[in-house]
Structure 1
Amino acid sequence: MPVEHYENFPVASLLIPRDLRPAVEALYAFARSADDIADEGGAQDAERLSGLAHYQAQLDAIERGKVPEGELFLRLAAVVKRHALPVALLHDLLDAFAQDVVKKRYADFTELQDYCRRSANPVGRLMLRIFGCASAGNDARSDAICTSLQLINFWQDVAVDLDKGRIYLPEEDRRRFGVTEEALFTRHCDEAFRALMRFEIGRTRAMMLEGAALAPSLPGRFGWEIRLVVQGGLRILEKIEAAGFDALNQRPQLVRSDWPLLALRAARMKR
């Protein structure tokens, strides 16, 4: 279960009931393919935005009850109808992908949270609705988990994003700890950078723990899926810490040997 952009969808997991897997897979296919339009290959920005605009148009058709174009959107339309999914959540995902094309820096944490609200939180809210577990309280706890997962991806991928010209570490925080853009691009992990990462990881962990009570409150397999997602995210944070906060030169990942520990921790989670 890598903690990566949209790989957090529990696609084809044995913990997902068989009758719900097609819905999860249809949502994943939509999100993954749209994310690829925004982020993969060598396309120009205008081409990426045009591709995402086509996706927006298909969502508009689904929302109006029209027949969309292409197998991907036909499957998505069936899932939206069956589970009464808010199409606005899917539009939010596309808005975030389009923002990634044109926005490379974030002024403060509030601005970054707004991005996460659209790039990550819709995933959790859509899953809650597919499993029939949506409520105001569950949505709020899911948002905390999903935002923290997105942040974990950022802290895990500092170097990867630098290669793409992106910096998700908020400018306000970088100024506070004395970390310049120049220092980031030289990949020099000094005490200032370590202090910055320690701060971001502490804030992210607190957010994850705030939402973690959602997992044991959910029924059956879905609850176990979310338990493992939470513990996987927390484990990545531990690995960044164990690497001396050097996210500039190392990219911690979950490996096979982590699974027994994740399973044990998941079993111990309480409301």
Structure 2
Amino acid sequence: MSVATFNEHALGWDSLGDGPAEYRTPAERPSLEQAKVWCRELATSHYENFHVATFFLPKQVKPHFESIYAYCRVSDDLGDEVSDPQTATRLLDAWGGMLDECYEAPERSRHPVFVALRETIVAHDVPRELFARLLQAFRQDQVKTHFESLGELMDYSRDSANPVGRLVLWVCGYREESLGLLSDKVCTALQLANFWQDVVEDDERGRRYLPGDAMLQYGVTDAQIHERVFTAEFWRLMQSLVEQTRMMLHDGGRISGLVDKELGATLELFRKGGDAILDAIEAQGFDVLRQRPEVSKGKKARLLAGALVGKMRGMFS
């Protein structure tokens, strides 16, 4: 069942009322195959790099990552694409209830995400907490829009980013906490890199992820961000944040050499992608107020070529 066909057969909103239209719950439970198709179409149509990322993963786990991505995508959109925070919170609570149902009474699940996700949960004994923590972060987004320290951002990333990396490890058969902690560093650093890249876009949405205590330390104000005034003080702030983020990214990046080579190639691709964002910020003199730093197509191509070499080595060594 494609996303379009699914929407044609969806009757009513159930507990997801007022959410994005494409996420309606169907009147009848889809088959497992229909649910997988829905998740695959959602993943590949909403995220242009999804094909690239999953190409470097073992073939047998790709359907599981499609269902995990679909869960994350719907969760994010329920929190981010609904303008009223109270409505968004209610939708996230309803989605959380459907997650609980997927674990406790899976025969009652009707949404294709949870029909497909149930197979992943059973096949790999995935802890509910990893999915629930993501919802906690999206709920927090409804009430907290400014962060006053790097510690607050680290706490936020613990729920908003780190569970994704741990899900990747879990589904690939890695349960060691030492690997989980390295993954957390990479995921948190990637989250922070995106924040430093999107300062203007976030400001336009009424959000500020630059830590308030660091802004005070370097003499940067919220008004300066609103008015897009780049100064030597802002340069020093961004230079410091980029340096801290890069150190975290490289420290966590040691995980790539501690897992099998196929997975290692994927994790190294993500790590280098974060580095590329930080490089782009540095390349424009840390002036993220002038324009959003972008990774060039040539740089992306070189990253993919390097990851492909790593994958081939893993397959034939």
TM-score normalized by the length of structure 2:
0.78
Decide which of 104, 112, 133 is 1:71's aligned counterpart: 112
- Residues 51-62 of structure 1: pairs in structure 2 closer than 5 A: 51-62=91-102
Deviation, 1:167, is: 0.2
* In 2: Cα distance, 1:8 partner to 1:138 partner: 28
* In 2: Cα distance, 1:8 partner to 1:142 partner: 23
* In 2: Cα distance, 1:168 partner to 1:11 partner: 29
Q: Hey, what does 1:3 align to over in structure 2?
A: none
CA contact (8 A) 1:11 1:24 kept: no
* In 2: Cα distance, 1:65 partner to 1:220 partner: 38
Q: Hey, what does 1:155 align to over in structure 2?
A: 196
1:138 maps to 2:152: no
One-letter code of the match for 2:116?
Answer: R
TM-score normalized by the length of structure 1:
0.91
Which structure has more helix as a fraction of its residues?
2
Q: Deviations over 1:46-73 (max 9, x none)?
A: 1111111111101111232443231111
Decide which of 236, 240, 244 is 1:195's aligned counterpart: 236
Return 5+ residue gaps in structure 2 as ranges.
1-45, 311-317
Decide which of 62, 68, 86 is 1:46's aligned counterpart: 86
**RCO (CA 8 Å, sep 6+): is it higher in 1 or 2?**
1
Deviation, 1:260, is: 4.8
Deviation, 1:196, is: 0.7
CA contact (8 A) 2:106 2:118 kept: no
Return 5+ residue gaps in structure 1 as ranges.
1-5
Q: Deviations over 1:143-193 (max 9, x none)?
A: 000000000110011111001000001111111011111111101111111
Distance 1:263 1:78, change over 3 A: closer
Deviation, 1:261, is: 3.8
Amino-acid identity (%): 34
CA contact (8 A) 2:133 2:159 kept: yes
- SS of match in other structure, 1:208: helix
Q: How many residues align?
A: 262
- Residues 1-271 of structure 1: pairs in structure 2 closer than 5 A: 10=50, 13-40=54-81, 43-67=83-107, 68-262=109-303
Rg bigger for which structure?
Answer: 2
One-letter code of the match for 2:86?
Answer: A
Deviation, 1:262, is: 2.6
RMSD over aligned Cα atoms: 2.0
CA contact (8 A) 2:256 2:267 kept: yes
* In 1: Cα distance, 2:254 partner to 2:139 partner: 32
One-letter code of the match for 1:64?
Answer: E
One-letter code of the match for 1:117?
Answer: R
CA contact (8 A) 1:11 1:28 kept: no
- SS of match in other structure, 2:55: coil
* In 2: Cα distance, 1:8 partner to 1:87 partner: 28
